[in-house]
Amino acid sequence: MPLNFHFRFRRNNTPSTSRRDADDEEDGASTSHGWFMGASNIVINRPTMVDKPKIIQNFDQGKTVLELLIKTMTPGAAADSSVRYPPPRCYPGTRTSLTTEIKTWLFSADRAQSMMWLHGPPGVGKSAIAQSIAEFAEEKACLGASFFFSGTRNDPNKVFPTLAYQFAVRIPEYKQIITAQLAHDPDILDKAPRLQFKKLIVEPFVLLRSRPRVLIILDGLDECLGNDMQCEIVELINEVVCSPTPLPLLWMICSRPEPHLTYLFFRAHFQIACWKEELFVDEEESKGDVEHYIREELKNIHGRYAHTITEDEDGVWPPEEVVVVIIEAASGLFVFASTVLKFIGDSNMLTRRANLRLLSLSSNTLIFSAIPTRTLPATLILLGAYIVNDETLKRRGVQVVANLLGYSRREFYSTLSKLHSILGIPAPEEAASTALGIFHKSLGEYLTDPARSGRFHLDKREVHSALAKGCLRLLFEDVRSTSSTPSFICWPAPAALDNDKIVRRYVKFFLTGWTWKNCVSEGDHVLPHLVESLREYDFGALDYLAWQQGAIILFMDFLSWLYEVSLKEPQLNCILRTERKSDRDDELLAYGRALMPNSIPFDFEHDLKAPLEKLSDPPRLLLLGYDGKTALVSFCVPIIGVYSPAFPPASQERTAILTRFFT
């Protein structure tokens, strides 16, 4: 039935004096509240009324959109944030060729790519270049947004809301579009990054395709949480730049050349379409720029403190040999040079003089002087684990090495906290598989030369002793542990991750060989704390271990070394023996002879030098350790058996294994 009605109404035409109304009209919001606003004496005849709920958005355009975005953005991530003040930027006269090339790319009408990847090791100046380009683009009104990642600014869920906030501030048309987007669906900001990218970046700029291009800078992408999220961000951008109808956006991504990012950008089957630019530490231009920076800053420091600086007889400060030391040590690393110059330019005169005295010896000395005395020994041991050992250990993730030494996650990172300018220190989520990076090849030479390093000298015996002690402890704890996450792992990875399996597997892998290898590396003069560890060690903890031939060879080397050391070191006298010294020895020898009636005592003079295959027939027996911690060792190559009543077989399976050792 048709709807018949009539009504009379009078609109209120009085101009609004509400500030809210004025703001709404200024921002383009509708001020109408329906046909009956201000009406009176309404008469409706025979209506059919339909109840249709009305959703009213309390969304004040131009204000609420920024307030909403600011709640979900990352503070301090923008190029002009006071949190980063003073930000790193290119020193005048440095990086001129590359920055000029990037500036040309920004305004080129025939550019081949809309994305660039600037990559290089830490400290080479990537962030400084990104900051300088951001400031240039801001001056030219073509900076869209920037996100400078760091250890605290790394949440992938906040990257695109942070960029959206900056777009809304800089681009009025974008602000109108995103206001409507968020009014329609405020939950966009709580969506996954992929959907955020679509709603906050792609869809708005599809509508703004005809506007001039703007630059987006993502610096330090490798510090974003999660390798997968870092790759996803790059792939999202790649989808946009490869679109047949590209958006008015240019992307500049800066990061370390982490393996997953390098693979992503260079994979053969689906390469990322971008301009790839690598910064090298040792290239001549980089070294020249760093030298220019060092010399100019030293002039500035001299000018600031001319009234307190003591010059040489030629009126020169600092001496040229000191300048050369800094330049050579920096080797193209801006962060290294910056750290040194901060020390020299300290406003405290006494500190500055002390720093210069250190610089006259070595810039490495300056860096290591910043390490607290209480953590210095642990720092040197950790570095030594990578410097004095072979490539097998050097390639392992820092989490594996930390566990071998007994360092927790907190201890590991606090130990190396002052060395970021000369080391590549993996983030916690990468620690299981990423090794420690040593930027300066000369670092090992410096630390192992006492004439150069002085009190920072790295004693190789201390390193081997620490690793040997740590491995002995782990061997003992491994046998005793029954939990799925053994207590001997000082720095476990989350159980849900494969990294935890990696850590435990490699820790156990190193135990059966590196324990003995590091003991042997001590040489003839064993440090007292390793002597004490060997004397007090319960060798029964080696029970039930069946070693492969490589580990057997290392164990034989250990026995040979231990025998020679025991002849010279009174505290280790008779730690290896075939004759009884106690009732426990009688028990062990009797057990071995009962299982292997044809066994003979181990002949130290002959068997330690004999080929392994000669030790099988007949089997050899010896005693290892002291008192209640003695174990019986049998040699029936290719298997070595160790037995101790302290760790009796707990099942038929283990009994079978033990019997196999002795038969």
Mean pLDDT (the chain) is 78
Backbone φ and ψ of 239, nearest 5° = -60, -35
Which residues lie closer than 8 Å to 472 by C-beta, 6 or more apart? 515, 533, 534, 537
Q: Is residue 633 classed as helix, strand or coil in its secondary structure?
A: strand
Q: Report yes or no: 447 and 387 within 8 Å, Cβ to Cβ.
A: yes
Edge-to-edge strand ranges of the sheet holding 214-219: 143-148, 214-219, 249-255, 115-119, 275-278
pLDDT of residue 658: 37
Mean pLDDT of 518-542: 83
**Nearest-angstrom CA–CA distance, 302 and 317:** 7
Mean pLDDT of 601-609: 83
Q: Minimum mean pLDDT among 107-111, 297-301, 309-313: which range?
A: 309-313
pLDDT digits (tens, 9 = 90+) for 451-467: 888 899 999 889 988 88
Burial 126-152 (b: 16+ CB within 10 A, else e): bbbbbbbbbbbbeeeebbbbbbbbeee
Q: Residue type at 420?
A: H
Is 496's pLDDT higher than 80? no
pLDDT of residue 421: 64
Q: What percent of the chain has pLDDT over 90?
A: 29
pLDDT of residue 191: 94
pTM over 0.85: no
pLDDT of residue 110: 87
Q: Report yes or no: 365 and 471 within 8 Å, Cβ to Cβ.
A: no
pLDDT band at 30; cut points 50, 70, 90: very low
Highest mean pLDDT among 60-64, 469-473, 503-507: 469-473
Cis peptide before 88, with omega less than 30 degrees from 0? no
**Nearest-angstrom CA–CA distance, 413 and 455:** 22
Is 44's pLDDT higher than 70? no
pLDDT of residue 663: 34
Q: Minimum mean pLDDT among 198-202, 299-303, 341-345, 507-511: which range?
A: 507-511
Mean pLDDT of 564-572: 89
pLDDT band at 281; cut points 50, 70, 90: confident
pLDDT of residue 37: 52
**Nearest-angstrom CA–CA distance, 309 and 349:** 8
What the block records as the tokens of 513 is 């060989």
pLDDT band at 396; cut points 50, 70, 90: confident
Backbone φ and ψ of 170, nearest 5° = -95, -30
pLDDT of residue 307: 77
First to last CA, the chain: 103
Which residues lie closer than 8 Å to 562 by C-beta, 6 or more apart? 519, 534, 572, 575, 576
pLDDT band at 476; cut points 50, 70, 90: confident
Is 480's pLDDT higher than 60? no
Mean pLDDT of 212-238: 95
**Nearest-angstrom CA–CA distance, 114 and 108:** 11
pLDDT band at 634; cut points 50, 70, 90: confident
Highest mean pLDDT among 268-272, 370-374, 436-440: 370-374
Q: Residue type at 29?
A: A
Q: Kindly state the DSSP code that residue 597 receives in the 8-state scheme.
A: T
pLDDT of residue 529: 85
Is 107's pLDDT higher than 50? yes
Q: Report yes or no: 511 and 572 within 8 Å, Cβ to Cβ.
A: no
pLDDT digits (tens, 9 = 90+) for 147-186: 999 878 999 999 999 999 999 999 999 999 999 999 889 8
Is 305's pLDDT higher than 90? no
Is 14's pLDDT higher than 70? no
Is 63's pLDDT higher than 60? no
pLDDT band at 196; cut points 50, 70, 90: very high
Is 484's pLDDT higher than 80? no
Identify the CA nearest to 405 among candidates 431, 377, 382, 435: 382
Is 604's pLDDT higher than 50? yes
Angle CA(515)–CA(463)–CA(502) in degrees, nearest 5? 55
pLDDT of residue 537: 86
pLDDT higher at 424 or 661 = 424
Q: Minimum mean pLDDT among 54-68, 277-291, 603-617: which range?
A: 54-68
pLDDT higher at 654 or 418 = 418
pLDDT digits (tens, 9 = 90+) for 574-586: 899 988 888 888 8
pLDDT of residue 523: 82
pLDDT of residue 341: 83
pLDDT digits (tens, 9 = 90+) for 649-662: 443 343 333 333 33
**Nearest-angstrom CA–CA distance, 344 and 356:** 7
**Nearest-angstrom CA–CA distance, 155 and 218:** 13
Is 362's pLDDT higher than 60? no
Mean pLDDT of 105-112: 91
**Nearest-angstrom CA–CA distance, 419 and 262:** 25
